[in-house]
Amino acid sequence: MHRTKVRVVEDALDANNTIASANRSDFDRSDVTVVNLMSAPGAGKTTLLERGLENLAEEGLRVGVLEGDVQGSFDADRLSVLHIPVVQLNTDNGFGGECHLDANMVRSALPAVPLGELDVLIVENVGNLVCPAEFRIGEDSRIMVCSVTEGEDKPLKYPLMFRACELVVINKVDLLEHLDFDVDRLEANILQVNHHAKVMRVSAKTGEGVDEFRAWLKALPARVAAEAAHDHDHDHEHHDHADHEHATA
Amino acid sequence: MHEFDLSSAIVATVNKHAEGRKVTHVTLRIGRLRQVVKDTLEFYLAIVGRDTPCEGATLEIIDVPAVLVCKTCQNEWEIEIPAFICGTCGPGAVEVKTGEEFMVESIEVEDEEDAACTAPR
């Protein structure tokens, strides 16, 4: 036997990212904007959706939800009152209950999702502040819910998650009067870790701030499309644009 | 806690490049911002790699510091805590230069001597 060194230099998450790109192509083909919604367990993702997605179709936005859970269909059942497409995805198929969704799990659920009927698909990830931040699923936007019962220091302890998200919804602000919690400090910590994050203060229970979330969601497809068009120009994928680049190169 | 999933991703990448050969050594390049606990990763790699070509391989992790750069003043500095702010210009133009790596850098595999001798060079 003799030993050979093989140079690899490959991101260990490339396999996941490749499948995420395939998902992304499917979403783009159907013109669906996809949101990866993440949080710690119990932060209020499902409650935010219950309040935030109510009657959005009447306001011109067709939203569906892909519910990721380790087990059961409790969240999907709660959302059934919204009369929108909700697809349950359990992560316990064959591997004892994954703590996050990865691109392949989402891919396996896509045949059940009526992409052609949707403007926005929200993928509710498994409640966890660590692993979901590592695995792209083909989403256009990542958002997280962070509740005021969790501690102001969470952005500093889980910077991977807070840095991955463009919107952080601070939930359960109706509880602030009962808590010794400095919500300004939480917001400052979020911005220290991710200066670009948009931060909203919401009570999914009372409805406070939920309109801002709904407005953000309604504006998302147009914003994502505009950003994609911008990137597209920069990728020189337009023929005329590419020719132009060659001519000036 | 993410080390188990990361181990699975590493083992899959390593075994793909091993192309069936036995892997004796794995070198990873991991940025500080990935928040990987090395001992935990090593522990899970041994479990996930069992009964695969990388069972028993030794592990080397190249630690990449978290280095930020401010695009306004071009200042570069290493951080030990998650504060993505330039002391002079504020947070607006701060980017991560290094520290987000999660790479399989190289592997060492056993070649059968016959194959090594007869393979065209």
Alpha helices in B53-96 (DSSP H): none
Residue B57 falls inside a structural domain: yes
Domain of residue B106 covers 3-111
Q: What is the ipTM of this complex?
A: 0.84
Residue A49 lies in a domain: yes
pLDDT mean over A93-117: 86
**Contact yes or no for B109 and A3 at CB 8 A:** yes
Counting the structural domains of chain A, the total is: 1
What's the order of all strands across the beta sheet hosting B67-70? B76-78, B67-70, B94-98
Query: Is residue A56 included in any domain, yes or no?
Result: yes
Q: For position A49, which CATH number holds?
A: 3.40.50.300
Which has the closest alpha carbon to A103: A141, A139, A137? A137
pTM for this one? 0.89
Q: Is residue B119 part of a domain?
A: no
By CB atoms closer than 10 A (0-12, 13-18, 19+), residue B94 is: buried
CATH number of the domain residue B41 falls in: 3.30.2320.80
Q: Which residue has the higher pLDDT, A86 or A231?
A: A86
- Domain count for chain B, please give it: 1
Record: contact A4-B14, CB cut-off 8 A: no
Burial readout A90-103 (b: 16 or more C-beta within 10 A, e: otherwise): bbeeeeeebbbbbb
* Res. A50: pLDDT tops 70: yes
Nearest chain B residue to A9 by CA distance is: B105
For A108-149, the pLDDT digits (tens) are 999 999 999 999 999 999 999 999 999 999 999 999 999 999
Residues of B with CB under 8 A from a CB of A: 1-2, 5-6, 9-10, 12-14, 16-18, 24-25, 28, 33-35, 81-85, 91-92, 94, 102-113, 116
At residue A74, the pLDDT reads: 86
Please identify among residues 137-166 of chain A the ones whose CB lies closer than 8 Å to any CB of chain B: 155-156, 159-160, 163
Which of B28, B103, B111 is the closest to A2 by Cβ?
A: B111
Q: Mean per-residue pLDDT for A67-77?
A: 86
Chain A residues within an 8 Å CB radius of B18: 6
Please report whether residue A176 resides in a domain.
Answer: yes
The answer to whether residue B64 sits within a structural domain is yes
* Residue at B61 is within a domain: yes
Residue A196 lies in a domain: yes
Contact, A48 vs A127, CB < 8 A? no
Of B43, B44, B42, nearest in space to B59 by CA = B42
Cα distance between residue B121 and residue B113, in whole Å: 14
Assess if residue B118 is contained within a domain: no
Q: What are phi and psi of B18, to 5 degrees?
A: -70, -25
Structural domain range at position A210: 14-220
